[in-house]
């Protein structure tokens, strides 16, 4: 039993997303919020807590082989949503920037 807690603690330390898969139920608010927060923190280059389209595009660029494959597969299946489409849908007040709340709403709607 002790071992399990140790593993969970390790996962918490290294990767919230990995932990989210095993500890939190899929699609729980906590997981989504963490993911959105982390994404904004990482790609918000001018640190105003909002993402412009330019900043969002950097997030959407596939960075690994797996991501490129997923993107290709989605395009084939017709489930691919372009960065421009997603951004437009997320930016509900249409001010050209996506806030944490706007992104969170979008993520919740697309789970």
- Residues in the site for Ca ion, rule: CB under 5 A? 44, 46, 48, 50, 91, 93, 95, 97
Between 17 and 49, CB nearer to Ca ion: 49
CB nearer to Ca ion: pick between 48 and 61: 48
Of the pair 91, 107, the CB lying nearest Ca ion is at 91
3-state secondary structure of 97: strand
User: Measured from the CB of residue 106, what is the shortest distance to Ca ion in angstroms?
Assistant: 11
CA count, 13 A, side-chain hemisphere, 94: 0
Residue 1: partners with Cβ closer than 8 Å, 6 or more residues away: none
Please give the sequence-ordered ranges of beta strands (E in DSSP) within 17-78, or none if there are none. Answer: 50-52
Q: Which is nearer to Ca ion, 24 or 106 (CB)?
A: 106
User: For 49, phi and psi rounded to 5 degrees?
Assistant: 70, 15
Q: Which two tokens stand for residue 80?
A: 């691919």
> Rounded distance, CA 13 to CA 95, Å?
36
């Amino acid at each position: 039993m002790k071992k399990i807690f140790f593993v969970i603690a390790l996962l918490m330390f290294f990767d919230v997303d990995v932990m989210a898969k095993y500890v939190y139920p899929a699609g729980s608010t906590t997981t989504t919020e963490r993911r959105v927060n982390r994404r904004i923190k990482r790609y918000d280059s001018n640190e105003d807590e909002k993402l412009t389209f330019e900043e969002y595009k950097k997030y959407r660029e596939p960075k690994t082989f797996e991501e490129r494959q997923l993107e290709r597969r989605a395009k084939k299946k017709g489930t691919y949503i372009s960065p421009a489409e997603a951004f437009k849908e997320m930016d509900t007040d249409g001010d050209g920037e996506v806030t944490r709340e706007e992104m969170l709403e979008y993520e919740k709607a697309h789970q």
